[in-house]
Amino acid sequence: MSTMRKTSLLAAFLALSLCGPSAWAKAEFNAADACEAYTSTHKLTNPDAAKLEAGKSYPILKSNRPTNPEWYLLRLDSANPPERWVKAECGKMEVQAGGGKKPAGEACGVPAQADGYVFAVSWQPAFCESKPDKPECKIDDPKVYQATHFTLHGLWPNKTSCGTNYGFCGPVKQKPADFCEYPQVNLSAEVRDKLAVVMPSVGSGSCLERHEWYKHGTCQNGSADEYYAQATTLVHEFNDSGVAQFMSERLGKRVSLDEFRAALDADLGTGASKRAKIGCKDGLLVDIYLNLPAELKPGASLKDMIAQAPEAPADNSCKAGFRVDLIGDSPQVHHRQSLAKPYISLIFPQVSSRNCWAIKM
C-alpha cells in the first residue's frame, strides 16, 4: 500500500475516532525529512527558517483537506509563530487511539466549541451551471440581486480537531435525503425576507436555509434569527466592499487569479486573499470560503474579522484564472464559444479539480 493511500486511510480513521461516541484519538506527524515549515502555503514564507527534525513527531492541528491531504498544519514549539504548514510527503500521520470516556471538548456535535468560522459565498450563475434543476436556477433575470452579487452559501463554525465533521449540534443529527425534509426554521418575517435576497433558495423553496441552520447554525450560541441576521449582514458587507462591482464589470470576461486576489486585498484589507479559498469548477468561479475568527463580535466589520483570522490552505482550482459567468448562461453556450475560439483553451485551460478543505455544504 502506498504512503499516500495509508495517509488517506489514517485521515479517515482520525475523523471517525474524533467524532465517534466512545473513542478519542490523537494525531501526530512523524517527520521523515528535515523539511521547511511554512507560515503560508501560498508564498511559502518561512521567516525564521524553521525546519522539521527527521524522526521527531509533531502534533497535527489540521490538514488542508480531509482525505489525501497535501499539507498539514503542525505545532512546532521552537518556531515563531509555532503553527506551521508542511508538505504531507515530508512524513506520515500517525493516530493514537484509546477507549474510555472522550475528553471534554472533543465531541463533534456539541455547540459552542468552535475555534474559527468559515464564511462561504457563491457566484450563483456559476453554481447553477452544475445545478440547473434547482428552482432558484430557473431565474434568468439580469436585474435580480443574484445576477451581479455573491449569495450566501453558509456561515460555518469550525472545530479543528473535527475537521469538516463539526456539525449537527441540535436535535437533528444527520442530513436527510432532501433539504426540505428538515423541520422548518423559526425565523421572523423580517429576517426571512432579508435572507431571501442573499440566499435565493429561501424564496424558491429549495430549503438550503434549513440545512445550513441544522448542520451549522446549531453549533453556535445565537438563535436562528441572530445567526441569519449576522450572515445576511456579512454578505452585504462582502458585496458592498467592491468585490461585487469587480465581478459585475467583468461579466462574460476572463479574470486572472492574481487580478482577483489583488481585488480582494484592495476591497477587504491587505492579506484578505490569503485568508480565502477561491473555488473554481470548469473554468468558472463558484465559491469563496473566507476564514473568520472564533468570536464574531456584534458590530465588528468583516474587514476586521478577516484580519484576525488564520490563513487558508492553498487551492489550485482557479490557478488558470476563471470566466465570470452570466445569469441564464448555459454549458451549451460555453461549448459554442469554445468551438468559435479554440485558442482560449490554450491560454486559460479549464480546471475541474476541487480542493475539499472546509467544503461542507
Pull the grid cell for residue 163: 475537521
Taking the C-alpha atoms of residue 225 and residue 192, their distance in angstroms, rounded to an integer, is 8
- The per-residue pLDDT for 356 is 36
Taking the C-alpha atoms of residue 356 and residue 15, their distance in angstroms, rounded to an integer, is 14
Mention the CATH class of domain 116-347.
alpha beta
Cβ-contact 248, 240 below 8 angstroms: no
How many other C-beta atoms are found inside a 10 Å radius of the C-beta of residue 268?
Answer: 24
Q: At what angle do helices 224-238 and 189-198 cross, to 10 degrees?
A: 40
- The per-residue pLDDT for 62 is 83
- The per-residue pLDDT for 95 is 63
End-to-end CA distance of the chain: 32
The DSSP H or E segment spanning 147 is helix 145-148
φ/ψ of 231, rounded to 5, equals -60, -40
Percent of residues, the chain, with pLDDT higher than 90: 62
CATH topology of domain 3-98: SH3 type barrels. (2.30.30)
Closest CA to 32 of 121, 93, 79, 107: 93
The DSSP H or E segment spanning 180 is none
Pull the grid cell for residue 192: 426571512
Show me where the domains of the chain are located: 3-98, 116-347
| CA distances, 149 to each of 40, 81, 199, 324, 326 (Å) | 29, 37, 11, 12, 11
Q: What is the 3-state secondary structure (H, E, C) of 263-301?
A: HHHHHHCCCHHHHEEEEEECCEEEEEEEEECCCCCCCCC
Write out residues in the chain with pLDDT < 70, as ranges. 1-26, 66-67, 95-106, 330-361
Cβ-contact 175, 211 below 8 angstroms: yes
- The per-residue pLDDT for 104 is 38
Query: Which residues, other chains included, contact 249 with Cβ-Cβ below 8 Å and sequence gap of 6+?
Result: none
Per-residue b or e along 20-34, where b marks 16 or more CB atoms closer than 10 Å to that residue's CB: eeebbbebbbebeee
Taking the C-alpha atoms of residue 80 and residue 50, their distance in angstroms, rounded to an integer, is 8
DSSP 99: -
- 81: cis peptide before it, omega within 30°? yes
Taking the C-alpha atoms of residue 348 and residue 343, their distance in angstroms, rounded to an integer, is 9
Cβ-contact 102, 161 below 8 angstroms: no
φ/ψ of 216, rounded to 5, equals -110, -45
The DSSP H or E segment spanning 11 is helix 3-19
- The per-residue pLDDT for 126 is 97
Q: Using the Cα atoms of residue 203, residue 205, residue 211 and residue 213 in order, give the sign of their dihedral.
A: positive
- The per-residue pLDDT for 354 is 33
Taking the C-alpha atoms of residue 83 and residue 37, their distance in angstroms, rounded to an integer, is 9
Which position has the grid cell 426554521?
Answer: 185
Taking the C-alpha atoms of residue 354 and residue 332, their distance in angstroms, rounded to an integer, is 22
Q: Give pLDDT tens digits for 67-116.
A: 678 888 998 988 888 899 999 889 887 765 444 434 433 479 999 999 99
- The per-residue pLDDT for 361 is 58
